[in-house]
Chain A
Amino acid sequence: MSRSVGLYRHRTLIWSFVKRDLLARYKGSAVGLFWSVIHPLIMLGLYTVVFSAILKVRVGAGEGTDYFALYLFCGLLPWNAFAEGLNRSTGVILEHANLIKRVIFPSEILPVYPVIAGIVNELIGFGVLLCVLLVTGHPIRPVILVLPAILLLQFVLTTGLAWLIAGITVFVRDLGQILGVILTLWLFLTPIFYPPAMVPEQMRVLLTINPMYTVVEAYRSLILKGQVPALWSLSALALMALLVNWLGYRVFARMRPAFADVL
């Protein structure tokens, strides 16, 4: 657990990186950070028009067509944060080569800050979603308070993978290309565009080993259904996240001394 202590010790530095990352994205634009609110609003509006007004997609027999836009949005928010964190982890060490080589600096925080930046954007998206739900009269239950726990699990899982990918990509740069393919497959194999009930019996095993399925379902059940997700699925997710995190950090720490030689 020394690495969590390490991350906590560097919290101000990590936060500085996250802040700079978020600010840099909108640097020089007139409304600045406001864009990160406008983006999810536009996406949600677009989903509503396309899937609910034009295509008239229904999640289940009992739900109205307006529900699908919310369902899709709620699933895409955590996925985008996850995919963004991993995609950026492939380049984050190369991007900061001069820090690695020239500054005495805890490099383990480099793969972490894009993950947090992604999660901050996810939170903004959730904020937008909750506002829309409140305005449209959708009930919001107190179980929403469990949400930070899911966020934490998602963070632990993503960070572990980000360390793993960031470490390996320094030596095997092709991983960046491979990851793009893997993430696309992963996105479509996770019930984000379709409800899990539609997955055939023989493919169910793919869902049980997919931690992102658990994450996405947990958010949906908290926000849209107002139910606490099954405890066993959360425990399995927690176990997997911790395992991936431990493994990812070990690989990263093992490779780190050689970074400066290859960059």
Chain B
Amino acid sequence: MVTVEARHLSKVYRIYAHPQDRLKEFLVRGRRTYHREFWALRDVSFHQPSGSTLGLIGDNGSGKSTLLQLIAGTLQPSEGVARVEGRVSAILELGAGFNPEFTGRENALMSGTIMGTPPRQMERKLPEVAAFADIGDFFDQPVKIYSSGMYVRLAFAVATSVDPDVLIIDEALSVGDQYFQKRCIDRIEGFRKAGKTILFCSHNLYQIRMICDQVIWLRDGQTAEIGDVSHVIGAYENYLREREMPQALVASENGDSRAFPWIAGVGLTRGDETIPHDHLLTGEELAVTVQYEVPNPPTPLHVGVSIERNDGVQVFATGTHVAGIQPSSSSDSIRLRFPRLPLMSGEYAISVFLLDEHGLHVYDRRVREWPFRVLQQVRSLGLCNLEHRWEVWRPSDRKTQRLFPQESGLV
């Protein structure tokens, strides 16, 4: 059974240069146009079975909120149809309709009524709302004295207190502290288990991966990918990486016209060898040589290097600002040595950053562009061959209470 269906949904906005142009256009009745068109959403179709969770991902301004609003019915489509079966509750904005002068209790009652729960029914739910919001005595204080965290907690508690068939959530979870975010996720998970249909939009790909059955990736108002969660998220992550890369490449190509330092080249070598090397054994020396160009005038900068495993785990990251070293402020190169690289076997990649003199602003970044592979000859397991030794008590030595360290040193 399908509960939510979109067929060729489009939303176009008319952009007027001046407010009076709208009136002019109305008066000439289409004989002349005074607007340009902006397609916030173009030809998006999907059908979502009852009880499933649909995730929306995409950059800011890609049309996620527009799509959710069209499904919720607060916006009217320019073309196409949105069909929803059952009672819809939309959390498009937390605390919409709150009046700062009134107490949390009064606002919760009003807000619930606005969202369609009769006041008497809402009144019965208030203890539950108060418990979930977890704001204690502030529940009976005016909302204007709330901290922003308390505000969103109350708003989320009210918004999810209704009992919808279809729940639409627009990035509501990007607010609040970790603890509250966790509880929100639990709440949504509860809705999901109860067989509700959920439409969910977030920048947190991890959450999307955990919660959704189906994902749509929107790009400039159009469906870039739709379908299986890991497939779509994978494609989107690829796109995110590619978008970072060309910027760096373009930057290097027309580098001379740039105002800020950029990375000219990076070489991975084994020790002091001069030929590039991307195969190492655990414990060998790895040297990362970073060449950078600095436009005139010379600019103080710092160099950062990070090692990541191919599953995204950051193994190690450091920089000259951490070590208290000041690299040359004109074009030069700098080398970072790992005398006995303790990494265990796996695929890794180096990322390099050029930072300002405070180590805060990033002038240039090349993320995971220099891969290398490590093979291990030790039989331990894990990510890193940590320096270690075993100590064993020998019964014969008890009298002297001495400890004989049994070295099983590093390879």
What is the distance, in angstroms, from A117's C-beta to the closest C-beta of chain B?
A: 14
Which of these binds chain A: B97-105, B330-338, B402-410?
B97-105
Which of these binds chain A: B67-75, B180-188, B259-267, B285-293?
B67-75
Question: Is A257 interfacial (CB 8 A cutoff)?
Answer: yes
Per a CB cutoff under 8 Å, which of B23, B89, B92 touches A102?
Answer: B92
Question: Is B90 interfacial (CB 8 A cutoff)?
Answer: yes
Interface string of A154-173 (1 = CB under 8 A from B): 00000000000000000111
Q: Known contacts A102-B92, A103-B114; is A12 also within 8 Å of B119 by CB?
A: yes
Chain B residues within an 8 Å CB radius of A102 = 69, 74, 90, 92-93, 96
Q: Is the CB of A24 within 8 A of B119?
A: no
What is the distance, in angstroms, from A31's C-beta to the closest C-beta of chain B?
A: 17
Residues of A5-37 whose CB lies within 8 A of B: 12-13, 16, 20, 23-24, 27-28
Residue of A nearest to B168 (CB): A104
Q: Known contacts A24-B101, A96-B97, A103-B97; is A12 also within 8 Å of B113 by CB?
A: yes
Give Cα distance in the complex from A99 to B99, angstroms. 12
Q: Is the CB of B74 within 8 A of A260?
A: yes
Chain A residues within an 8 Å CB radius of B61 = none
Question: Is B76 interfacial (CB 8 A cutoff)?
Answer: yes
What is the distance, in angstroms, from B199's C-beta to the closest C-beta of chain A?
A: 13
Interface string of B77-91 (1 = CB under 8 A from A): 000000000001110
Question: Is A201 interfacial (CB 8 A cutoff)?
Answer: no
What size tier do the contact residues of chain A reach?
20 to 34
Question: Is B393 interfacial (CB 8 A cutoff)?
Answer: no
What is the distance, in angstroms, from A177's C-beta to the closest C-beta of chain B?
A: 14
Chain B residues within an 8 Å CB radius of A171 = 22-23, 26
Central interface residue in A24, A103, A171, A172, by most chain B CB within 10 Å: A103
A-B contact pairs, 25 of them (CB 8 A): A16-B114, A20-B102, A20-B110, A23-B102, A27-B102, A99-B96, A101-B74, A102-B69, A102-B92, A102-B93, A102-B96, A103-B96, A104-B72, A104-B115, A105-B74, A105-B114, A171-B23, A171-B26, A172-B23, A173-B19, A258-B76, A260-B74, A260-B75, A260-B76, A261-B75
Ranked nearest first, the 4 interchain pairs of A and B with the lowest CB-CB distance are A102-B93, A102-B92, A257-B76, A98-B96
What is the interface of chain B, defined by CB distance below 8 A to chain A? 13-14, 19, 22-23, 26, 69, 72-76, 88-90, 92-93, 96-97, 99, 101-102, 106, 109-110, 113-116, 118-119
19 additional A-B pairs beyond A104-B74, A261-B14, beta carbons within 8 Å, are A12-B119, A16-B109, A16-B110, A20-B99, A20-B102, A23-B102, A98-B93, A99-B114, A101-B74, A101-B92, A102-B69, A102-B90, A103-B93, A104-B72, A104-B88, A104-B90, A258-B76, A261-B13, A261-B76
What is the interface of chain A, defined by CB distance below 8 A to chain B? 12-13, 16, 20, 23-24, 27-28, 96, 98-105, 171-173, 257-258, 260-261
